[in-house]
Amino acid sequence: MHKELMKSLKNNRGFTLIELMIVMTILGILLTLSQPMYRESTIKAKEAVLMENLFTMRNVIDQYYVDKERYPDSLDDLASDNYIRTIPIDPFTKSIDSWQLIPPPDGYSGNVYDVHSGSDLLSLGGTPYNEW
């Protein structure tokens, strides 16, 4: 029995160095090809978050105006008056302080009529995020 076991172990050989190198090369190529798709999907996710944050803040600014007949003086007013729980983080600048505040037209009171991202990066569609 011992001889049979030793004989079967001698016949079972592992992978050769060439086979391992081929497998590693194929894995490297697959990883290289998948990297741009992963990067694009993370950018798309950040763009979706930015669009949702802008939509929410613009709705809240409009509601603030309807209720108080003036625009907020800052984004902090929206949080302190319970129109929004917290000021959202800009997903591209990773900050709540980078939002670009657009003042209202002449004749309206307050300082925040609209809000844009503070990022100067370009979207996947080619438009700057600070123009969204």
Q: Write out pLDDT tens, residues 18-39.
A: 988 999 999 999 988 888 888 8
CB 93 within 8 Å of CB 128: no
Is residue 25 included in any domain, yes or no? yes
CATH code at 126? 3.30.700
Is residue 40 included in any domain, yes or no? yes
Is residue 94 included in any domain, yes or no? yes
How many domains are there within the chain?
1
pLDDT surpasses 80 at 8:
no
Is residue 97 included in any domain, yes or no? yes
Q: What is the mean pLDDT of residues 71-98?
A: 96
Question: In terms of residue numbers, what domain contains 28?
Answer: 18-131
Is residue 105 included in any domain, yes or no? yes
pLDDT band at 16 (very low <50, low <70, confident <90, very high): confident
Beta bridge partner(s), residue 122: 128
Q: Is 80 helix (H, G, I), strand (E, B) or coil?
A: helix
> Which residue shows structure tokens 């060439």?
18
Is residue 13 included in any domain, yes or no? no
| Count of helices and strands (H, E) across the chain | 3, 2
Q: What is the mean pLDDT of residues 65-80?
A: 96
Angle at 87 between CA 90 and CA 93, to 5 degrees: 15
pTM of the entire predicted model: 0.73
